[in-house]
Structure 1
Amino acid sequence: MKLLLSDLRAKQVLYGEGGPPVSLIKVVLADGTLANALYRLQAWLARLGLAPLALIPHVVNKWLNGCVIGVKAQFGPGFVLIHPVGVVINSSVRGGRNVWLESSVVIGENRGGFPRLGDDIFVGSGAKIIGAVTVGDRARVGANAVVLHDVPAGHTALGIPARMRAPRA
């Protein structure tokens, strides 16, 4: 429950950027919140060693939200599915704090290697992060980018295949 509350607070921060504060009720009713809750439920059940039971919220998330997150995928507090439709995440993926994903993001394994995402990450709509890559803290992945190599901390990955853009000074 603590992780889900941190997810909701992070979404509240996201929705309040550049404007007046947003109520927690608005965040609870927003797109993606049910997908977040179902992910946290499946992760909790998997941590308890109830992986077969964790498949229930996994399947419900797929049916209701079009969102597939592997049962053993791990994300820290502040995980936000801004729009869950089309999101696909492999079970081996590990993410830090405040990972924010737009719609149709794919984060997947390739040849046994899987992505690791740091803290304070934003991934734009349609982006793909594939294989044994690390996305450093405070990095951004642009919409429709295809990340096949590491993204250094603070950099932005853009294009197909993704090229790195250094942070502005």
Structure 2
Amino acid sequence: MERLKADFRRKQEIFKEDGADVSMLRIVMADGSSANILYRCMRWFAAHRLGLVAYFFQCLNKYINGCVIGSGAEFGPGFVIMHPVGIVINSKVQGEANITLESGVVIGDEKGKSPRLGSNIFVGAGAKIIGDLHVADKVKIGANAVLTKSAEEGATMLGIPARPYQRTTEQAEQ
């Protein structure tokens, strides 16, 4: 329950950063919050070796939200699903605190190995993170980017395949 509260507090912070100072009730009713609730319920039952009940919550999330998160996927506090439709996360994925996902994100396995995510990560709509890689802290992954190699701390990853974004001198001056 503490992690779910932390998820909602983080979502409220994100809304506030975007200029919308909204109540906790509005956060709980916002798009994606039901996916967070069902994910945290699934994880609790999976952690307590109640796999059948965990599977029920996984299926419920899939049918209600269009969001598939494997029962072994573990995220720290501050995990925020902004828009759940199309999200697919492999059971072996491990993530730390304050990870924000937009719609259509895929975090998947390749040859039995899954990504490891640090803290304070934003993943844009439609982005894919695939294989045995590490996404360091404070990374932003742009919409529709395909990340197949590790990302260094503070990087903004864009493109297919995703590469660190480098501002040119001209862009910095504008």
* TM-score relative to the length of structure 2: 0.94
Which SS does the other structure have where 1:151 is aligned? coil
Which SS does the other structure have where 1:84 is aligned? coil
> How has the CA–CA distance of structure 1 residues 46 and 129 changed in structure 2, closer, same or farther, with 3 Å as cutoff?
same
Matched, 1:116 2:116: yes
CA distance in 2, matches of 1:19, 1:160: 31
CA distance in 2, matches of 1:45, 1:14: 28
1:53-102 CA distances to partner (integer Å, 9 max, x unpaired)?
Answer: 10011000000000000001000000000000000000000000000000
1:73 and 1:91 in contact (8 A); partners too: yes
Matched, 1:83 2:74: no
Identity %: 51
* TM-score relative to the length of structure 1: 0.97
Q: Residue 67 of structure 1 aligns to which amino acid in structure 2?
A: C
Give RMSD over aligned pairs: 1.5
Q: Residue 59 of structure 1 aligns to which amino acid in structure 2?
A: C
Q: Residue 83 of structure 1 aligns to which amino acid in structure 2?
A: H
Larger radius of gyration: 2
Question: What's the counterpart of residue 37 of structure 1?
Answer: 37
Question: What's the counterpart of residue 74 of structure 2?
Answer: 74
CA drift at 1:17: 0.9
Unaligned runs of 5+ in 2: none
The count of corresponding residues between Structure 1 and Structure 2 is 169
1:119-168 CA distances to partner (integer Å, 9 max, x unpaired)?
Answer: 00000000000000110000010000000000001001100000112589
